[in-house]
Structure 1
Amino acid sequence: MSRNDILSFMGHLRTLPLKGNSKNTIEEQMKNRIRVYLYEVQAYISYIQRLEWDFAPEKPINHLIFPEDFPKKERLKAEDIKYIPDDVWEQILENLSELNAHYVPILLVLEASGFRISDTLLLKKNCLEKKSDGWWLIGDQRKVNYTNHKVPITDDIAAVIHTQVKLMDIESSDSNQRSLLFPNIDGRRKSLPISAKVFNDNLNKLTHRCQIRDSSGEIFHIKNHAFRHRYGVNMINNGMNILHLQKLMAHASPEMTLIYAQIHDNTLRGEWEKARAKGAVRLSPNGSIIEADLEDQAKENGLELEWIRHNMDSIRLDHGFCIKSPKLSCDFLEQTLEPPCIKNNCRSFHSDHTFLDYYKEQIIKIESDIEIYKKSNRLRSIELIQPKLKRYKDIASSLEAGDGIYGLSKERREYTNNERKEV
């Protein structure tokens, strides 16, 4: 097999007619097809080469299929994310008795853990761990090659899992050789994991049978991944730090996690705009509600309206605010070793005095590291870390000097000349 064979195969894929009623463009459907088929061919060739079968290609797989052969996926936007809203989830819970009992524990674990459906269906019976702070669910995250990934769960979900383990010990003790938490207990797929499609089909039968509708009055169509999106949105809405959520959801980069923050911030901004349009309210001395002007209230309380707007537009990180417009992509998302907004002097980065303790702690840690490097004569390490120490000291000094918001003005911080044309 040669490289030309792969190129010919990709050309052949483009000649085949498209099937189904996808909402994607023809070009995007074609990209998806090439991506899927190439992954399958790559996996197959890698497998037979690893086993050294006689008919395996002599050339290494990386000489046959190149990374650039896989069409890039369009970057997800906040509006593309479909998650299970609270009102739909409440309807699902109200009608839970109508769902096949075999699928109920899967549904509850899926919603409570943020695991992908494929990883949930492959959980083992020993997936629970009890620590001093409570129960943790343990499972592999295959998409990003994370093994034994842990997330905290409630006592109620732990009890559901314990019950499921006992049930499997009774109903599939002989056939469940892989010790799966959710195996098929009968049929031709007995002892194999439950199919994600079968699970999803049962959920959508439930929504139609029980008339589970969204806020617009339409029957809600459930996608399995929407439960993972629900988990991410709920964590952000409840105040979880975005970097902690990235780790909790095993995202390889902050890019996906930031989309959940954008959903939250878009909602928050919309509510603020509605309140602004209607006018603010306040309480009179006797407790009755009276109309008031938001700007006047801000001045009376020693606040700047610009500060309020700033916080409505921002995503709060450990080290400051990201004020990047949701309409624009971040240039530094792939850089995670050091806060990229600081390292690259990002114009969308702001900080204020509420972050002063963070910088002081970091300065102490860096200075401690430098002392260790000096003792071991690691001069190059000192040379590399010194610029970071200087940046952090400069920011800390600036924060100690006043109590404002530090960074570029709104007009300069958000858009370059070219970006202004785009938005």
Structure 2
Amino acid sequence: MTAPLRVVGPAGDAELASPLPLQDQLRELVASILIDDCRVFVTADDPVGGGPACAVAGCPRSRKGDATVCAVHHDRWVAAGKPDLDYWDDPGPCPDPESVLLGRLPLPLRREIAYGIVQARQHPNPPSLRLVSLQGAIDGLADTGIRSLLEPDEDRWPSPGRRSHGRMPKPVGTLKVGFFTFTIDELDRLRGQFGHEHEYARDVWRLRRLGVTGVPGGWRLDFRDIQQGWLRAAVKQFLRWRHDTGHSPSGMHRDLTVLTLLSSALTECAGTNARPEQFDRAVITRLLTVLTERGHPPNARRQRLSSVRRFLEIARQHDWIAGVPVGAALYSEDFPKETKLAPRGLPASVMAQLESAENLAKLTDPRWRLLFPLLMETGLRLNDALHLPQDCVIHDQQNAPYLRYLNRKMKREALVPISPEMAAAINEQAARVRTQYSAKAVLFPRQTMNPDGRHPVSSYAHRTALDTWIQQCRIVDETGAPMRVTAHQFRHTLGTRLINNDVPQEVVRKILDHTSLEMTAHYARLHDVTVRRHWERARKVDIHGNTVTIDQDSPLADAQWAKQHLARATMALPNGYCGLPLQQTCPHANACLTCPVFITTPEFLPQHREQLELTRGIIERARQRGQLRVVEMNQSTADNLLTIITSLETPSPPTGSDTDDAS
């Protein structure tokens, strides 16, 4: 606390001449801005409490809401009969700047808040608050009775709030006001207690102090529920390693949650003061039971157990849990069988409603008017889309546009082709945010506390906007019930659409930027079900025009479909399928239209009609040349073709199952 420090003060970057206690440093640093020891002036365009300048020349105050003048000049303008501002001659002098009143705050809290204002004015990306919000938060601080921001630990901070029926604001667990959080960080820097090493030494990590961006400022990792000191130290080392190697904040939080359960299992088996050698297989068994008791589905249990197994592997590798028996481990047999979930793609009828021009026109906010169609067209994950920069569109040598983005899940850059219309819409939005914010602004900036536009809109704001739009458009499912839609369903829908349109899996993998074909095969499984359903429903006839039926409820149904599926891949015909058992060889020398095991469906009618015309031409030319054997050979093919076409064109009688399906 008493070491000489380099700090940012009113006069800029300067090193204190001599080591001073923290409060003496604060007194020197805020002396030039604290008026009457209780006020700080806030002018227009000030990052703390200010805003756009009043339209009256020389007025130091900021305008209010949608008005073009400050509150004082607004009252004068109304009293003057609301004349045209361009010709209004203001009768009085401009008022003084607005001020933040700190008189109710005790010392040293008053100087700490003033110091926060000093630092915010020098910071490249300061917290931004409306004056009324800042003053209300400060008044709430005065009501708490706290004398210093550094008095309580931050996670035990009472949050300033509004009075309700004369009662004091209800304390909550985290500090909600960004300006106070910013000020605490600056005070810790001033007293030399800032940086990753200081944060790692705590039992409650504040992720913003570890350089984590894009998550709520109140995100913390709390290790205090891990009762065993040696285990807590090992878990902290593990999560430090996770953070240093680029693990996501949500993944770190998931790791800590299950490792805290592991500590509870150890406590149940051996007590709060359990030693490392008491961490045996019984603890692992108890953890498996706890996860089951909590009702976690199999896939969730697999995910949590993977975190524990990784922790045990890394902790042993770095000797963080010396003394723990080797038998305290997770094996493949401990993991529940993975449940293959079907893709959550949206039905075609729902997508038709969402993609209609009429419904898209209801999106008045330009951010949502671009974001929702972008998610539908590209299948981007929401977090990747929200962090898109302005220069995210590139072109190849043929001038085809692509979207360049950072796959934040896989930590790599990726490209996806987009339409020229989408590229134009993105460039239009980029120009808009560049004008409204700055060249550093993201494509979808949040609208508050974001002066240069570098912070993206929150997922909560997106969720609210999407739900509002869905309700406004009255989106319904096939039964007419209101539909609930999530952003990630657009990704599933795109993958399913591409697979169902016979786009190769490798291409789909590239578009969705999957790491392996196994992920893409998730959509292919759905496609296989779709194709089988159509195959079962389709009318199938042989060369004599007789309908070929397949008992869908028979145990042979799966085997028949497997054979049919393999035949499509290994015995492709231009006009149907071979119904020959796979173990046999074909004796008909590719003369499928005279083969008794040939099967075809209405989807091949165009090929049949074309082949019939070609066959009739061959027959006619052979007759003219007197080639009777050629006529005889092809006449059988022509007759079979005519029979097949006639049968496929004749509507089949409705069946009970068809009727049920149609309803």
Contact 1:95 1:210 (C-alpha < 8 Å) held by counterparts: yes
- Alpha-carbon deviation of 1:87? 1.8
Q: Aligned AA for 1:88?
A: V
- Alpha-carbon deviation of 1:105? 0.6
Contact 1:112 1:231 (C-alpha < 8 Å) held by counterparts: yes
Aligned position for 1:270:
533
Give the one of 353, 360, 373 matched to 1:96: 360
Q: Aligned AA for 1:117?
A: L
Give the one of 407, 413, 430 matched to 1:165: 430
Aligned position for 2:512:
249
Aligned position for 1:237:
500
Aligned position for 1:299:
543
Aligned position for 1:219:
482
- Alpha-carbon deviation of 1:34? 9.5
Aligned position for 1:184:
446
Give the one of 364, 386, 390 matched to 1:121: 386
CA–CA separation in structure 1 for the residues paired with 2:568 and 2:232:
45
* 1:8-23 → structure 2 map (5 Å cutoff): 9-12=260-263
CA–CA separation in structure 2 for the residues paired with 1:154 and 1:314:
38
Bigger Rg, structure 1 or 2 = 2
- Alpha-carbon deviation of 1:215? 0.7
TM-score, length-scaled by structure 1? 0.54
Aligned position for 1:83:
345
CA 1:86–1:133: 2 relative to 1, 3 Å: farther
- Alpha-carbon deviation of 1:140? 1.8
CA–CA separation in structure 2 for the residues paired with 1:95 and 1:249:
26
CA–CA separation in structure 1 for the residues paired with 2:233 and 2:495:
43
Contact 2:505 2:521 (C-alpha < 8 Å) held by counterparts: yes
* 1:269-418 → structure 2 map (5 Å cutoff): 269-276=532-539, 294-295=540-541, 298-299=542-543, 313=561, 351-352=570-571
SS at 2:409's partner residue? helix
- Alpha-carbon deviation of 1:350? 5.7
SS at 1:125's partner residue? coil
Q: Deviations over 1:232-280 (max 9, x none)?
A: 011112220112212221222222212212222322322332334xxxx
SS at 1:139's partner residue? strand
Give the one of 471, 476, 491 matched to 1:208: 471
Moved more, 149-158 or 186-195: 186-195
Contact 1:117 1:225 (C-alpha < 8 Å) held by counterparts: yes
Q: Larger relative contact order (C-alpha < 8 A, sep ≥ 6)? A: 1
Q: Aligned AA for 2:485?
A: I
- Superposition CA RMSD, Å: 4.9
Aligned position for 2:40:
none
Q: Deviations over 1:71-102 (max 9, x none)?
A: 77944332xx2222232122223322333432
Residue 467 (structure 2) pairs with residue 199 (structure 1): no
CA 1:239–1:173: 2 relative to 1, 3 Å: same
- Unpaired segments of 5 or more residues in structure 1? 16-23, 50-57, 277-293, 316-320, 324-347, 355-397, 405-423
- Alpha-carbon deviation of 1:228? 0.4
Residue 417 (structure 2) pairs with residue 138 (structure 1): no
CA–CA separation in structure 1 for the residues paired with 2:336 and 2:464:
29
Q: Deviations over 1:310-366 (max 9, x none)?
A: 9x9579xxxxx975xxxxxxxxxxxxxxxxxxxxxxxx9962468xxxxxxxxxxxx
* 1:15-34 → structure 2 map (5 Å cutoff): 26-28=294-296, 32=300
- Unpaired segments of 5 or more residues in structure 2? 1-229, 236-257, 267-291, 551-556, 574-584, 592-663
Aligned position for 2:160:
none
SS at 2:496's partner residue? helix
Q: Aligned AA for 2:570?
A: S
CA–CA separation in structure 1 for the residues paired with 2:264 and 2:481:
37
SS at 1:180's partner residue? coil
CA–CA separation in structure 1 for the residues paired with 2:422 and 2:450:
30
* 1:140-155 → structure 2 map (5 Å cutoff): 140-145=406-411, 147-155=412-420
Matched positions, count = 285
Q: Which has the higher helix share?
A: 1
CA–CA separation in structure 2 for the residues paired with 1:208 and 1:194:
21
CA–CA separation in structure 2 for the residues paired with 1:245 and 1:75:
23
Residue 522 (structure 2) pairs with residue 259 (structure 1): yes
CA–CA separation in structure 2 for the residues paired with 1:353 and 1:91:
37
Contact 2:299 2:338 (C-alpha < 8 Å) held by counterparts: no
- Alpha-carbon deviation of 1:192? 1.1
CA–CA separation in structure 2 for the residues paired with 1:38 and 1:148:
26
Q: Aligned AA for 1:166?
A: A
SS at 1:149's partner residue? strand
TM-score, length-scaled by structure 2? 0.36
CA 1:4–1:35: 2 relative to 1, 3 Å: farther
